[in-house]
A and B are shown apart, each in its own frame.
Chain A
Amino acid sequence: MLIRRLAALALLVAFCLVTGAAAAPPKDAMVVGLLAEPVTMDPPQITDLNSARITKRIFEGLVAQELGSYKLVPGLAQSWEISKDGLTYTFKLRPNVTFHDGTPFNAEAVRFCFERQLNDKSPYYATGTYPYVKSFLGNIASVEVVDPLTLQIKLKAQLAPFLQYLAHQSLFVYSPEALKKWGKDIVKRPVGTGPFKLDAWEPGVKVVLVRNDGYWGGAPKVRQAIYVPIIEAQARLAAIKTGEIDLTMDVPPDSLDDLRKDPNVVVAESNSSAAWYIALNTRHPILKDKRVRQALNYAVNKDAIIRDILKGTAIVSRGPLSPVYGPYHEESVQKYPYDLEKAKALLKDAGYPGGFELTFLVPESGSGMQSPVEMATVIQANLATVGVKAKIQTLEWGAYLKKYLEAPDMAEMSWNPSIGDPDHMMYMLLSSDRFPPAFNAGFYQNDKVDDLLRKGRTTVDEKARVPLYREAQKVIVEDAPWIFVDHGKQVIIYRKRVQGFKLHPNFDLVLTQVWLQ
């Protein structure tokens, strides 16, 4: 009996293996393995990267970013004019664009979408919660329809990054008719104008997008884009190596060398705007001394962390902005190479030749946090060599975020800004307007920096803006409110059959120009 049963099981397994063994993938459908499934497909409610990576195929904003950079190019608006006082933006909209449900795209639709979030008396306000309404739409005074293809937005105050905000998903445009029809369930019924439209979403299993043949920019070459969630890094590695999926990210760093030698896959790497740093509490009795903070910067061996833990998937950070920011990135800042003698000398100067003790807050994992515990262990050992005893306290991400904003001595953080503007990195994290519960967790305050960053926010002319941010970086790096550790690279692995793929600095996976061999 036992033997018969076992034989039956073996047969069953064999049957499954034979019938299930993957057939050759279709020539015009590609599979993307994401870290998790999307949370929501309602643009103004999106806060996570997985949702953004899918919905940015479905929806568009008035303004778009050129593939591969933060340069702004026309999106649903063909052109725009900014009034002399910097307060009125007039957009000429693209004619003959329709939403995926066939309804027309026009100025009224844009007004409807912004109004939904801005006006809590609007009948559609209650169809969602809008995490970014204050940050990104808070400065809008009015949205007016001039004619069906002309829209005028008036701001309360000048705000330089506003055009970049319009390229963010929270200001994307969706079909008003779809929202009226689905109400709160709009989260799973996305209707946009983009190159792809939603075909099916099986929760936890996959999201299937099909190309929009009537796309104004020309239909994409790929007929179907299928997104599957693969939570475990090892499983993503297996899936990309066996060709179950065509494109993925975040495989175990140890496997990258092997992947680079694999003739069937391409490992694409590029610098990103992300910053990984340790916020230092500038109000702490010891850390308030700039020399101490500089000493900590000298004491950490960033090259070793990048080489041994991150396996080369990052570059050393010399300040808050990575080189991705182009003209805004300042190269000639004070450098903090690994230099124990300098660190010791600075500590001695500051009156702590024997070192001191600190609590070091570390998350177990978390969005963009790379290898937080391993990195903390190395940093702890580095600091110990100059006599600074950092006691590591590890927390789960949700609890960590709370503790992070309660004035820890020193705490790890990583920030991958969704807006391609230096303001979104520097003002958000280092202005004294942004003390906790906002994200300047170390209470860094320098009047000159505050002044430069506030000026930067309101200076619309790029030529006049660039020097402000470059100057601010010099001051900030010298003040060392953080231990500047690294800027993570984005690493995307894809099968050779995927052609024309290009990385975008904000981690988006653009598929419009991709074709399959």
Chain B
Amino acid sequence: MAAVGGGGLQGYVLGRLLLAVPVLFGVSLLVFAVMHLAPGDPAAIMLGAQATREDVERLHRELGLDRPLPVQYARWLGRVGQGDLGRSIPLGREVLPEVLTRFRATLILTGGALLVALVIGVPAGIVSATRQYSWLDRLSMGIAVTGVSLPVFWTGIMLIIVFSLTLRWLPSAGMFSPYGGDFADLLWHLVLPAITLGTASAAALARMTRSSVLEIVRQDFVRSARAKGLAERAVVGRHVLKNAVNPVVTVLGIQVGTLLGGAILTETVFSWPGLGSMMVRAIQARDYPLVQGGVLLIATTFVGVNLLVDLLYAVFDPRIRYE
């Protein structure tokens, strides 16, 4: 599945990294085009009703928006090549440190959601598979279908109404308490957003785990394992799971992308200070440098995660070799 020239693992990784260059180039072109061709004007949005024609024109000139689009793109790309993502239009801050700070918060949220997905999804899938057609199987798959179908913003607001407003167990917004907080405070704030974001992925994982385990359970070596008198727990734990794990890892990799995307809405609902909530604001303000920088960062992460997933196959399945 992964025969890329000689040179073993190093060569494979290098090849994949080289392949990432045209991908990222394409992404940069796409996001630039989409942002600049979309109707709307950052200067007009900033100025609002008190704008004068002179003020709008002067802002355009100072922001370089009066140049032809290809020139603007070339200048931006040239700077990006030197590691300079420019300055946000309304914020006036450098884009790179800004998106990196925000990205950390997004990674915490995505990590939390992934944990929720794993802790709920994988056990649910195993239980469903090993007790196929039992009430437990039907129940968990029923919940899974519901989970996949729930829109993130709805789940989020419902959780706020139940757990923040009514029960008052958990905070409704932010990553830390206003007066400052420690790690425990962070976890406390993470619970609702992570569940909101992780639910759909948990459901997808559960379904994948179930079908993957079911396929393995029916194979001969599992029958042999049972025949030699191994306890069911050992059969599933040692033999079945090991072989069922690769499709699950694939889904997990895809879920990271879904989570990064879903984080945008979750972050907005819970005012999580991540890249997603920032991007929503930046898109509304037509903050070109910030949106472009943010999308490039997300695309780079996605390429990285995909590579990581491919490398993980070899860890879980010794038959796969990258050479």
Residues of A within 8 A of B (CB): 1-2, 5-6, 9, 12-13, 15-17, 19-22, 25-26, 29, 31, 33, 36, 39-40, 42, 45, 47-48, 128-129, 131-135, 138, 184-185, 187-188, 202-206, 226, 228-232, 234-239, 241-242, 244-245, 367, 396-399, 401-403, 405, 413, 415, 417-418, 424, 428-429, 437-439
Q: How far is the CA of A1 from the CA of B53 in the complex (A)?
A: 68
In this complex, the interface size class of chain B, counting residues with CB under 8 Å from chain A, is: 35 or more
Q: How far is the CA of A196 from the CA of B20 in the complex (A)?
A: 49
**Contact residues in A for B274 (Cβ distance below 8 Å):** 204
Contact residue among A203, A206, A235, A428 (Cβ-Cβ distance under 8 Å from B270): A235
A206 touches B178 (CB 8 A): yes
A401 touches B179 (CB 8 A): no
A437 CB to nearest B CB, Å: 5
Contacts known (A232-B173, A239-B171); A204 close to B54, Cβ less than 8 A: no
Chain B 133-176 interface residues, beta-carbon cutoff 8 Å to A: 156-157, 160-161, 164-165, 168-176
Contact residue among B58, B184, B278 (Cβ-Cβ distance under 8 Å from A134): B58
B50 touches A418 (CB 8 A): yes
Chain B residue with the shortest CB-CB distance to A433: B52
Contact residue among A16, A239, A397 (Cβ-Cβ distance under 8 Å from B184): A16
**Contact residues in A for B188 (Cβ distance below 8 Å):** 16-17, 19-21
Main secondary structure of the interface of A (DSSP, over half): mixed
What string of 1s and 0s marks CB contacts (under 8 Å) between B61-72 and chain A?
011000000000
Chain B residue with the shortest CB-CB distance to A188: B93
Q: How far is the CA of A124 from the CA of B227 in the complex (A)?
A: 83
Is B11 part of the contact surface with A, judged by Cβ < 8 Å?
no
Q: Which of B101, B127, B172, B191 has the most CB of A within 10 A?
A: B172
**Contact residues in B for A22 (Cβ distance below 8 Å):** 171, 177
Contacts known (A204-B102, A204-B277); A399 close to B39, Cβ less than 8 A: yes
Q: Which of A45, A129, A428 has the most CB of B within 10 A?
A: A129
**Contact residues in A for B90 (Cβ distance below 8 Å):** 39-40, 47-48
Is B187 part of the contact surface with A, judged by Cβ < 8 Å?
yes
A229 touches B164 (CB 8 A): no
B92 touches A40 (CB 8 A): yes
Chain A residue with the shortest CB-CB distance to B41: A402
Q: How far is the CA of A205 from the CA of B271 in the complex (A)?
A: 8
B277 CB to nearest A CB, Å: 7
B50 touches A135 (CB 8 A): yes
Contact residue among B45, B55, B87 (Cβ-Cβ distance under 8 Å from A184): B87
B91 touches A235 (CB 8 A): no
Q: How far is the CA of A2 from the CA of B224 in the complex (A)?
A: 25
Q: How far is the CA of A187 from the CA of B269 in the complex (A)?
A: 27
Is B293 part of the contact surface with A, judged by Cβ < 8 Å?
no
**Contact residues in A for B173 (Cβ distance below 8 Å):** 33, 228, 230-232, 235-236, 238-239, 244
B40 touches A402 (CB 8 A): yes
**Contact residues in A for B13 (Cβ distance below 8 Å):** none
Contacts known (A47-B90, A234-B160); A424 close to B102, Cβ less than 8 A: no
A416 CB to nearest B CB, Å: 9
Is B44 part of the contact surface with A, judged by Cβ < 8 Å?
yes
Is B26 part of the contact surface with A, judged by Cβ < 8 Å?
no
**Contact residues in B for A244 (Cβ distance below 8 Å):** 171-173, 177-178
Contacts known (A19-B184, A230-B174); A401 close to B44, Cβ less than 8 A: yes
**Contact residues in B for A206 (Cβ distance below 8 Å):** 174, 176, 178
**Contact residues in B for A129 (Cβ distance below 8 Å):** 59, 62-63, 92
B101 touches A203 (CB 8 A): yes
Contact residue among A21, A132, A203, A428 (Cβ-Cβ distance under 8 Å from B273): A203
Contact residue among A42, A131, A398, A437 (Cβ-Cβ distance under 8 Å from B286): A398
A251 CB to nearest B CB, Å: 11
Q: How far is the CA of A22 from the CA of B59 in the complex (A)?
A: 45
Main secondary structure of the interface of B (DSSP, over half): helix
B66 CB to nearest A CB, Å: 13
A-B contact pairs, 5 of them (CB 8 A): A133-B58, A229-B271, A238-B160, A398-B38, A399-B39
Contacts known (A16-B184, A39-B91); A415 close to B40, Cβ less than 8 A: no
Contact residue among B98, B126, B164, B283 (Cβ-Cβ distance under 8 Å from A238): B164
Chain B residue with the shortest CB-CB distance to A200: B180
Is B49 part of the contact surface with A, judged by Cβ < 8 Å?
yes
**Contact residues in A for B184 (Cβ distance below 8 Å):** 15-16, 19-20
Chain A residue with the shortest CB-CB distance to B195: A13
Q: How far is the CA of A367 from the CA of B160 in the complex (A)?
A: 25
A17 touches B38 (CB 8 A): no
B191 touches A437 (CB 8 A): no
What string of 1s and 0s marks CB contacts (under 8 Å) between B213-239 and chain A?
000000000000000000001000100
**Contact residues in A for B50 (Cβ distance below 8 Å):** 132, 135, 417-418, 424, 428, 439
Contacts known (A2-B123, A134-B58, A439-B51); A234 close to B161, Cβ less than 8 A: yes
Is B281 part of the contact surface with A, judged by Cβ < 8 Å?
yes
Q: How far is the CA of A117 from the CA of B90 in the complex (A)?
A: 16
B254 CB to nearest A CB, Å: 24
A242 touches B168 (CB 8 A): yes
B111 CB to nearest A CB, Å: 14
A92 CB to nearest B CB, Å: 29
Is B312 part of the contact surface with A, judged by Cβ < 8 Å?
no
Q: How far is the CA of A69 from the CA of B271 in the complex (A)?
A: 33
Chain B residue with the shortest CB-CB distance to A39: B90
Is B82 part of the contact surface with A, judged by Cβ < 8 Å?
no
User: Which 8 interchain pairs have the tightest Cβ spacing?
Assistant: A204-B273, A20-B188, A398-B40, A238-B172, A238-B164, A187-B92, A399-B39, A235-B172
Q: How far is the CA of A357 from the CA of B99 in the complex (A)?
A: 47
A231 touches B277 (CB 8 A): yes
What string of 1s and 0s marks CB contacts (under 8 Å) between B181-192 and chain A?
100110111010
A28 CB to nearest B CB, Å: 12
Chain A residue with the shortest CB-CB distance to B39: A399
A131 touches B271 (CB 8 A): no
B60 CB to nearest A CB, Å: 10
Q: How far is the CA of A203 from the CA of B270 in the complex (A)?
A: 15
Is B46 part of the contact surface with A, judged by Cβ < 8 Å?
yes
Q: How far is the CA of A128 from the CA of B93 in the complex (A)?
A: 10
B197 CB to nearest A CB, Å: 15
Is B255 part of the contact surface with A, judged by Cβ < 8 Å?
no
Is B108 part of the contact surface with A, judged by Cβ < 8 Å?
no
Told that A235-B172, A244-B177, A398-B286 touch, could you supply 10 new A-B pairs with CB distance under 8 A? A15-B184, A19-B185, A39-B91, A131-B47, A135-B50, A184-B92, A188-B93, A203-B102, A203-B273, A235-B173
